[in-house]
Amino acid sequence: DPDAAEGTKMVSRIAIVRGVPDSFCDALSMTPPPQPVDLERARLQHAVYVDVLKDLVQEVIELPADNKYPDCPFIEDTAVVIGNRALITHPGAASRQGEEEAIREALKQLRIHISEVEPPGLIDGGDVLYASGMLFAGNSSRTNVAGIESLQKAFPDVRVHTIRVGEGLHLKSAISSISPKILAVEDSPAAIAMFDEIQQKTDGHFKMVKTLGPGAANTVLVGDAVICSATLGLGSLKLEAHYKQHARHVIPVDISEFHKVDGGLTCLSLLIER
Ligand code: CIR
């Protein structure tokens, strides 16, 4: 039972992050932000996020930014890692294809067993949720059925459930795991529909905590600590109340510059737990 094992085993954690390039103002966004991205502020927010991670994991590997890839800080999209295995993704947005090369090298150096996506597979890590020993893969504008098949091949022992992403960028833009059996779910009809599909496919395995407002449901769970977005007001308060009830360590971090280009907290790191 992966849930029972969670509390007892000694886990070593490494996080990989990637710097904010000078070209970050050209990062993709579904709707143009009302205010342009402030590069210096983005770099400061990123530095705080990295500092927070340094307190939570044994090692943070900081990969340099690449100006060729304005979206390169969103490193989560380039790989799916479970234990000592990884699928290097083929990102769904053409301008992001190639970002994964630096990540493949970093993971090889960590002696992680690498699988690749088979054409015509497309997959963004932001569409992949790992919870309670199961994988949920969002079929979205970035992730196609062939990409999800490559995910299943890379992790043959893990059941992969496909979830239709009706709205928003990625599955995890709207749903993330806040403890093995509890998911944070954005309080919107599209997100609730995705949660219902998860429940239907797992015989109601999960509980949900609804968050208010876009972005608030995207949190990073590291052991007993949860990083949540500091700037989403009420959206985060409900989550904080929930965490406190479970005696969790809650760390609010402001990533407003990344929200402008559809990025959340999970996107900014790749966690390796083994
Ligand atoms: C993109 O559109 O690809 C980036 N601007 C945002 C990526 C966010 N990544 C994520 O949710 N995992």
pLDDT tens profile 48-73? 999 999 999 999 999 999 999 999 99
Q: What is the pLDDT of residues 213-261, one digit of tens each?
A: 778 889 999 988 889 887 655 555 666 677 767 657 888 899 999 999 9
Count of beta carbons in the 10 Å neighbourhood of residue 105: 10
3-class DSSP state of 136: strand
Question: How buried is residue 5: exposed, middle or buried, by Cβ count under 10 Å (0-12/13-18/19+)?
Answer: exposed
| Active-site annotation holder among 46, 90, 170, 242 | 170
Residues 85-100 pLDDT 10s: 999 999 999 999 999 9
What ipTM did this prediction achieve? 0.98
**To test the ligand 1 pocket, which listed residue (24, 100, 129, 169) has its Cβ within 8 A of the most ligand atoms?**
169
170 catalytic? Reply is yes
d(CA 88, CA 103): 8
3-state SS of 44-95? Answer: HHHHHHHHHHHHHCCEEEEECCCCCCCCCCCHHHHEEEECCEEEECCCCCHH
* Cα angle: 271, vertex 51, 95; to 5 degrees: 55
- Beta partners for 179? 182
**72, two tokens:** 């390169």
* Any atom of ligand 1 within 6 Å of the Cβ of 80: no
Distance 5 CA to ligand 1 centre (A): 32
CB distance 71 to ligand 1 below 6 Å: yes
pTM of the predicted model, to two decimals? 0.94
Tell me which residue has its CA closest to atom 3 in ligand 1: 28
Buried b (16+ CB within 10 A) or exposed e, 156-175: eebebebbebbebbbbbbbb
220 lines ligand 1 (CB under 6 A): no
Query: Which residue lies with its CA nearest to atom 1 of ligand 1?
Result: 28
Phi, psi (rounded to 5 degrees) for 216: -70, -25
